[in-house]
Amino acid sequence: MSDIQSKDSSKLSAFKKLTAVKGMNDVLPGESAKWEWLESKVRTLMAQYAYRNIRTPIVEPTALFVRGLGEVTDIVEKEMYSFEDRLNGEALTLRPESTAGVVRAVVEHNMLYEGGKRLYYMGPMFRHERPQRGRYRQFHQIGAEVLGFQGPEIDAEVILLAHDLWQAIGLKDVRLELNSLGQPPERLAHRSALIQHFEKHQDLLDEDAKRRLYTNPLRILDTKNPAMKDVVESAPKLMDFLGEVSLAHFNALRQILDINGVHYTLNPRLVRGMDYYNLTVFEFITDQLGSQGTVCGGGRYDYLIEQVGGKPAPAVGWALGLERVLALLEEQGALPPDAVPDAYAIVPDASTLPLVLKYLRSLRGLGIKVQMHAGSGEGVGSMKSQFKKADGSGAAYALIFGADELSQNKVSVKSLRDGNGAQRSESLDNLETWAHSLQFPH
């Protein structure tokens, strides 16, 4: 080794190994296949409900979330990744959730001009919090938003959409909890009653609750502190402050869910973490993921469109945590196996690769998943090593493109999974007559 090579080598070895940011994870091929499966199920169901996909930027103006989520929410106060644009000084934030961004896009592009919209999204969100199972700093959400419709039947539709998704992916043991937050005047009356109640029991409040007492007392009801359970349970119930119209909306929603056989429980403490909700709020909850029990949550947000600068219009929606759903499916043993090819192409002679590639492209055009043996730069390897890789690929069949077979325009098809290693010869001139048999091994 020359002195120059030696210096270059030592220089490279001096570089510190770089790793991903804490709480922001790589999704490797064995796992991403499960993500793709879930996303495919979602796309199919959304199409059946006539929801259309929307994709908004990951970076939004910080003011969008401060105005939309509420200045004294945990997300805005503690969890947002916010920074100043070095070029123009604009305050920007990595989106911590997607509803506000969807509403911003709907307003900016005047999407409600021709009537209401049913939309869905998928993508990464960012919150600076302590990473734990099912809760990461970069996490992924799938959401459904319906804008421009105000009836309780729309609240029911989005809940039924989530309920049908659980059935489509085989998710079990997820319970639905419901509440109504009423309208702003009703919440204001309830807020005053809450403050009076908690003022009488200030010695029982933790620091978080004391901080929220006069800014957002409703969020005290959502505390996870067991020491505050009794004082929260005895607090005034928002349901007792609801007027006739709000109650009628909530009861109509419940009636639709009852008719459709969707079981739920009423939870008067359910308030959600954003200030933009009114009337219906709901969560789908599991007991199988420890403290991270909420799998999907949402509700109605009739005032957010106006807060973002649009003309007043009603809206309702939900978001689910993709990582949490996958973790729950794994816990229940309901995830599909890793994606594998239908067949593995064994090529004894590298000189035949150009012709073999032509046939493999034809097979793929017929919908067959084929993995080609690679490595011609160092020799294609022995038949034994190629068969070992074929077996390791998980493919059901090996396609052997030997010299004798190719001279007759044929390929040998060998079963890798039936235990007998049965082998047959097939014509390369008539791929379409036998190709689909590779997808259904016997």
User: pLDDT tens-digit profile of 291-321?
Assistant: 668 899 999 999 999 998 999 999 999 999 9
Identify the sign of the CA torsion 133, 137, 142, 148.
positive
How confident is the prediction for the chain on average, in pLDDT? 89
Q: Which helix (H) or strand (E) holds 387?
A: helix 383-392
CATH 3.40.50.800 in the chain is located at: 343-439
Whether the per-residue pLDDT at 156 is higher than 60: the answer is: yes
pLDDT tens across 7-22, in order?
555 555 578 889 998 9
- In 3D space, the residue among 260, 45, 267, 272 whose CA is nearest the CA of residue 162 turns out to be 45
Which amino acid does the sequence have at 244?
E
- Give yes or no for a contact between 280 and 257, defined as CB atoms under 8 angstroms apart: no
pLDDT for position 338: 78
pLDDT-derived band at 141, boundaries 50, 70, 90: very high
- Give yes or no for a contact between 266 and 178, defined as CB atoms under 8 angstroms apart: yes
Whether the per-residue pLDDT at 2 is higher than 60: the answer is: no
pLDDT tens across 87-130, in order?
999 999 999 999 999 999 999 999 999 999 999 999 999 998 88
Q: Which helix (H) or strand (E) holds 179?
A: strand 175-180
**More confident position, 87 or 49:** 49
Q: In angstroms, rounded to a whole number, what is the distance separating the alpha carbons of residues 327 and 329?
A: 5
pLDDT tens across 215-261, in order?
888 878 878 888 888 888 898 888 889 999 999 999 999 999 999 99
Whether the per-residue pLDDT at 379 is higher than 80: the answer is: no
pLDDT for position 440: 64
Q: In angstroms, rounded to a whole number, what is the distance separating the alpha carbons of residues 355 and 6?
A: 43
pLDDT-derived band at 5, boundaries 50, 70, 90: low
As a whole-number percent, the residues of the chain with pLDDT over 90 amount to: 59
pLDDT for position 134: 64
Rounded to 10 deg, the angle between the 62-69 and 99-108 helix axes is: 110
Taking residues 186-196, report their average pLDDT: 89
- In 3D space, the residue among 126, 139, 162 whose CA is nearest the CA of residue 35 turns out to be 139
DSSP string, 31-100: HHHHHHHHHHHHHHHHHHTT-EE----SEEEHHHHHHHH-TTSHIIIII-EEEE-TTT--EEEE-S-SHH
Instruction: Answer left, alpha or beta for residue 311, where phi above 0 means left and psi between -120 and 50 means alpha.
Output: beta
Which value, in Å, is the radius of gyration of the alpha carbons in the chain? 28
CATH 3.30.930.10 in the chain is located at: 29-182+242-331
The three-state secondary structure class of 403 is helix
- Give yes or no for a contact between 307 and 106, defined as CB atoms under 8 angstroms apart: no
pLDDT for position 437: 92
Which amino acid does the sequence have at 279?
L
pLDDT for position 442: 46
Domain 29-182+242-331 of CATH type 3.30.565.10? no
Q: In angstroms, rounded to a whole number, what is the distance separating the alpha carbons of residues 212 and 174?
A: 31
pLDDT tens across 170-184, in order?
999 999 999 999 998
pLDDT for position 405: 92
Residue located via tokens 């005034």 = 236
Counting runs of H as helices and runs of E as strands, what totals does the chain give? 16, 16
Q: Which helix (H) or strand (E) holds 295?
A: strand 294-300
Whether the per-residue pLDDT at 269 is higher than 50: the answer is: yes
Whether the per-residue pLDDT at 70 is higher than 80: the answer is: no
Its CATH class, for the domain covering 343-439, is alpha beta
pLDDT for position 116: 96
- Please list, in sequence order, all residues whose beta carbon lies within 8 angstroms of the beta carbon of residue 417, skipping any fewer than 6 positions away: 396, 441
- In 3D space, the residue among 236, 243, 239 whose CA is nearest the CA of residue 220 turns out to be 236
Which amino acid does the sequence have at 275?
D
DSSP string, 103-144: HHHHHHTTTTTTS-EEEEEEEEEE--S--BTTB-SEEEEEEE
Whether the per-residue pLDDT at 336 is higher than 60: the answer is: yes
**More confident position, 53 or 387:** 53
pLDDT for position 72: 64
pTM for the structure as a whole: 0.85
